[in-house]
């Protein structure tokens, strides 16, 4: 009699096990496309046997546990691929912006502006007396300066965007790490839970995408996370260490620290952004340096020619556009954007009708002369006075009715101090057409003053020809590149960086796809399998129910005898 009731118990236990298995199948099918979900299986074990008079008999089946099918090895491989993908993707995104900034050839803003500038110098050489040619040159010069400054501005903005994004991602790393520590705490408190384990994996994956990590699962079920390539712990059990970022939005370097230790070569999206932000080889600083040296090279070359020329009219007083912090320091140690050399500077004085008055020259030695002593030496020339006002050199004709003209300057001090220049400014961020020339285009130096009775001819175009000739002169990159060649090389650099970053990205994407496929093979849900299982467990359940009803009718039969 007790044997028969035991049989009902076994049937009921088996029905319960089939029900649990069915619940797991249903959950798997429902989560087939849930990211980070690992398929689960119910471990079915035979229920403990009982020893009866006739021997040992089974008592049905029971569900021992629910386990996730997941491989830690595939996970760590996949994370390594994912952090590298995010690293090169972050670079690729910025470089693509840079790439399209330079845009198609021909419509290239910088290139067109450059051709326009030297074309306008050529037109000035054709029509030195013509006000329209001078006005057009001011416009083209300003167009070139604007294009250079806008490009530089875009680069600066990309730097600050990268910096902002790093900040946002660092905050995300820290909140993700805290969430992971919280789950570790829950894991310590309770029994193994497949959905908590999935959540742990998801959070570690995200940390890997952001900064590149390695994770170890402890025997107690908690996860310890260190920054890849270092021993610096982000999460250990319920403890977290904050990742922090230091730097300025533009310029300087951005550094990332964990618990006071600087990360040398971080990976993931943050690492990729930090590389772009810091690298002077293929990052934004490299592009900014190249653009700056292009701009300062053009400023120096154009101003060098312009400074020694004369306009249709002359000014009574000329002020340098470059200021010196300490006018008493020698010129080669005063921190000028370009250092003057030893040489001779010629200055002449004309009257208001253009008749020659006097001239003189100053021998400049930048290792012994300061701005103050240069001003004194210029002031000693006949009919000339000079002073230093606010760190800038001011040269005037002593008689207010007279005018100042400049002759050859082998010392480059006029260029270095920004005196009588076409451009003001010293780099891509500050380049402008001199505001004096914008206001009075007649001051643009198309001519060269003769320091004798011939004076200055309105039709003299010698200086304008020399300015136009710069367009085809190799004066950049140590005298190896014309301005258009320098722009071409700039484009080629950026194009090469963008190309190699996008190649790296697609390679990493392929690797990650392969790792994803492996993960899917291990942990993905196959609906056909689940449907087959569903049918299987349905039948098991039905069989157990049938068994119970059979045993029940046996009991009925037994009862009928009584």
Partner 1 sequence: MRVTQTLLSDRAMAALRESLGRMAKTQNQLGTGRRINTPSDDPAGHSTATRLTARVATLDQYDRQAAAAQAPLTATNDLLDTLGSLSARAQELAVAGANGGLGAGERAGMATEVNQILEEVVGTGNTSEHGRYLLGGQDTRTAPLNVTRNVNGDITGVTWNPRGVDGTIDATVSDGVTVQTNVGGTAVMGADTDPTFLPTLLIQLRDALTTNNQAGVSAVIDQFQTVTARLSGAQSLVGSQLQTLDRTAAANDTARTAAKAALSAIVDADVAKVAVDLSQQEAIYQAALHAASQAIQPSLLEFLK
CA atoms within 13 A on the CB side of 472: 6
Each residue 31-50 as x (binds partner 1 by CB under 8 A) or -, in order, gives -xx-----------------
Report the nearest approach of partner 1 to the CB of residue 6 (Å).
36
Q: How far apart are CA 170 and CA 270, in angstroms?
A: 8
Closer CB to partner 1, residue 31 or residue 330?
31
Q: Pick from 45, 380, 532, 558 the residue near partner 1 by CB under 8 A.
A: 532
Question: Does residue number 353 form part of the binding site for partner 1 (CB under 8 A)?
Answer: no
Best CA proximity match to 205, nearest among 35, 452, 346, 54: 35
Stretch that binds partner 1, among 104-112, 239-247, 398-406, 434-442 (CB under 8 A): 104-112
Report the nearest approach of partner 1 to the CB of residue 27 (Å).
16
Closer CB to partner 1, residue 72 or residue 514?
514
CA atoms within 13 A on the CB side of 168: 8
Report the nearest approach of partner 1 to the CB of residue 201 (Å).
16
Q: How far apart are CA 388 and CA 396, in angstroms?
A: 11
| Total number of residues shown for the chain | 562
Report the nearest approach of partner 1 to the CB of residue 41 (Å).
13
Q: What is the largest CA-CA distance in the chain?
A: 150
Stretch that binds partner 1, among 136-144, 249-257, 385-393, 530-538 (CB under 8 A): 530-538
Closer CB to partner 1, residue 24 or residue 222?
24
Residues of this chain, 81-100, that bind partner 1 according to CB under 8 A: 95-96, 99-100
Strand partners, 245: 256
Closer CB to partner 1, residue 32 or residue 554?
32
The angle formed by the CA atoms of residues 103, 105 and 107, to the nearest 5 degrees, is 75
- DSSP for 339-367 reads ---SEEEEEEEE-TTS-EEEEEEEEE-TT
Q: H/E element holding 423?
A: strand 423-424
| Backbone dihedral angles phi then psi of residue 359, each to the nearest 5 degrees | -150, 165
Closer CB to partner 1, residue 328 or residue 532?
532
Strand partners, 347: 360, 406
3-state helix, strand and coil shares in percent for the chain, rounded to the nearest 5: 55, 15, 30
Question: Does residue number 538 form part of the binding site for partner 1 (CB under 8 A)?
Answer: no
Closer CB to partner 1, residue 127 or residue 179?
127
Q: What is the DSSP letter of 457?
A: -
Q: Pick from 234, 393, 525, 551 the residue near partner 1 by CB under 8 A.
A: 525
Question: Does residue number 111 form part of the binding site for partner 1 (CB under 8 A)?
Answer: yes
Q: How far apart are CA 101 and CA 112, in angstroms?
A: 14
Interacting residues of 131 by C-beta distance below 8 A, sequence separation 6+: 441, 442
Q: How far apart are CA 117 and CA 400, in angstroms?
A: 34
Q: How far apart are CA 244 and CA 115, in angstroms?
A: 47
Stretch that binds partner 1, among 73-81, 162-170, 171-179, 528-536 (CB under 8 A): 528-536
Q: Pick from 22, 83, 108, 359 the residue near partner 1 by CB under 8 A.
A: 108
Closer CB to partner 1, residue 458 or residue 555?
458
Question: Does residue number 422 form part of the binding site for partner 1 (CB under 8 A)?
Answer: no
Q: Pick from 105, 168, 400, 560 the residue near partner 1 by CB under 8 A.
A: 105
Closer CB to partner 1, residue 188 or residue 510?
510
Question: Does residue number 454 form part of the binding site for partner 1 (CB under 8 A)?
Answer: yes
Number of residues near partner 1 (by CB under 8 A): 68
Q: Pick from 458, 477, 511, 555 the residue near partner 1 by CB under 8 A.
A: 458
Q: Pick from 129, 193, 236, 442 the residue near partner 1 by CB under 8 A.
A: 129
Question: Does residue number 526 form part of the binding site for partner 1 (CB under 8 A)?
Answer: yes
The CA-atom distances, in angstroms, between 428 and each of 15, 104, 144, 331 are 79, 21, 11, 23
Best CA proximity match to 101, nearest among 284, 231, 243, 289: 284
Q: How far apart are CA 351 and CA 386, in angstroms?
A: 18
Closer CB to partner 1, residue 103 or residue 335?
103
Q: How far apart are CA 255 and CA 302, in angstroms?
A: 39
Report the nearest approach of partner 1 to the CB of residue 406 (Å).
18
Stretch that binds partner 1, among 165-173, 260-268, 363-371, 447-455 (CB under 8 A): 447-455
Best CA proximity match to 156, nearest among 284, 253, 295: 284
Q: Are the C-beta atoms of 31 and 40 separated by less than 8 Å?
A: no
Each residue 485-524 as x (binds partner 1 by CB under 8 A) or -, in order, gives x-xxx-xxxxxx-xx--x----------x--xx--xxx-x
Q: Pick from 377, 440, 457, 552 the residue near partner 1 by CB under 8 A.
A: 457
Report the nearest approach of partner 1 to the CB of residue 509 (Å).
8
Strands 317-319 and 343-350: unpaired
Report the nearest approach of partner 1 to the CB of residue 141 (Å).
15
CA-CA-CA-CA torsion sign (489, 492, 498, 500): negative
Best CA proximity match to 172, nearest among 251, 80, 234, 103: 234
Q: Are the C-beta atoms of 344 and 363 separated by less than 8 Å?
A: yes
Closer CB to partner 1, residue 317 or residue 500?
500
Report the nearest approach of partner 1 to the CB of residue 327 (Å).
38
Q: Pick from 127, 179, 504, 536 the residue near partner 1 by CB under 8 A.
A: 127
| Backbone dihedral angles phi then psi of residue 241, each to the nearest 5 degrees | -120, 135
Q: Pick from 17, 114, 173, 232 the residue near partner 1 by CB under 8 A.
A: 114
Could you list the residues that contact partner 1 (CB under 8 A)? 32-33, 95-96, 99-100, 102-106, 108, 111, 114-115, 118-119, 122-123, 125-127, 129, 447, 453-455, 457-462, 465, 468-469, 471-472, 482-485, 487-489, 491-496, 498-499, 502, 513, 516-517, 520-522, 524-528, 531-532, 535
């Amino acid at each position: 009699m007790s044997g028969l009731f035991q049989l009902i118990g076994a049937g009921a236990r088996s029905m319960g096990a089939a029900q649990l298995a069915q619940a797991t199948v249903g959950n798997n099918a429902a989560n087939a496309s849930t990211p980070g979900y690992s398929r689960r299986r119910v471990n079915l074990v035979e229920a403990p046997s009982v020893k009866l008079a006739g021997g040992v008999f089974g008592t049905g089946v029971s569900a021992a546990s629910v386990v996730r099918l997941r491989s830690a090895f595939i996970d760590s491989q996949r994370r390594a691929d994912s952090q590298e993908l995010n690293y090169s993707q972050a670079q690729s995104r910025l470089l693509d912006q840079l790439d399209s900034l330079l845009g198609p050839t021909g419509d290239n803003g910088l290139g067109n502006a450059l051709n326009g500038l030297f074309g306008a110098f050529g037109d000035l050489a054709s029509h030195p007396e013509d006000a329209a040619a001078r006005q057009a040159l001011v416009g083209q010069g300003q167009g070139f300066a604007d294009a250079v400054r806008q490009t530089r501005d875009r680069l600066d903005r990309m730097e600050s965007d990268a910096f902002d994004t790093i900040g946002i991602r660092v905050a995300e790393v820290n909140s993700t790490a805290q969430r992971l520590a919280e789950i570790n705490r829950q894991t310590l408190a309770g029994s193994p839970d497949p959905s908590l384990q999935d959540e742990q994996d998801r959070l570690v994956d995200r940390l890997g995408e952001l900064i590149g990590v390695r994770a170890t699962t402890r025997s107690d079920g908690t996860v310890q996370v260190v920054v890849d390539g270092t021993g610096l712990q982000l999460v250990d059990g319920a403890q977290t260490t904050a990742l922090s970022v230091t730097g300025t939005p533009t310029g300087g370097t951005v550094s990332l620290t964990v618990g006071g230790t600087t990360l040398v070569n971080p990976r993931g999206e943050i690492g990729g952004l930090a590389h772009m932000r810091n690298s002077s080889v293929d990052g934004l600083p490299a592009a900014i340096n190249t653009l700056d040296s292009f701009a300062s090279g053009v400023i120096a070359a154009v101003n060098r020619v312009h400074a020694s020329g004369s306009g249709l009219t002359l000014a009574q007083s000329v002020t340098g556009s470059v200021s010196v912090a300490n006018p008493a320091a020698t010129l080669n140690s005063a921190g000028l954007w370009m250092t003057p050399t030893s040489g001779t500077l010629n200055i002449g004085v004309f009257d208001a009708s253009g008749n020659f008055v006097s001239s003189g020259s100053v021998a400049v030695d930048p290792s012994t002369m300061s701005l103050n002593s240069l001003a004194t030496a210029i002031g000693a020339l006949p009919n000339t006075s000079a002073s230093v006002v606010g760190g800038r050199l001011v040269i005037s004709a002593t008689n207010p009715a007279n005018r100042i003209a400049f002759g050859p300057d082998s010392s480059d001090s006029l260029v270095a101090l920004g005196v009588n220049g076409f451009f003001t400014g010293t780099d891509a961020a500050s380049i402008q057409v001199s505001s004096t020339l914008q206001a009075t285009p007649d001051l643009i130096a198309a001519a060269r003053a003769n320091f004798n009775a011939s004076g200055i001819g309105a039709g003299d175009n010698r200086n304008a020809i020399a300015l136009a000739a710069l367009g085809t002169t190799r004066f950049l990159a140590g005298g190896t590149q014309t301005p258009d060649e320098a722009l071409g090389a700039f484009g080629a650099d950026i194009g090469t960086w963008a190309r190699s970053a996008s190649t790296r990205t697609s390679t990493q994407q392929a690797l990650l796809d392969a790792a994803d496929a492996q993960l899917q093979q291990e942990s993905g849900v196959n609906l056909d399998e689940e449907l087959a299982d569903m049918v299987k467990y349905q039948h098991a359940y039905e069989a157990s129910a049938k068994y119970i009803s059979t045993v029940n009718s046996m009991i009925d039969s037994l009862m009928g005898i009584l």
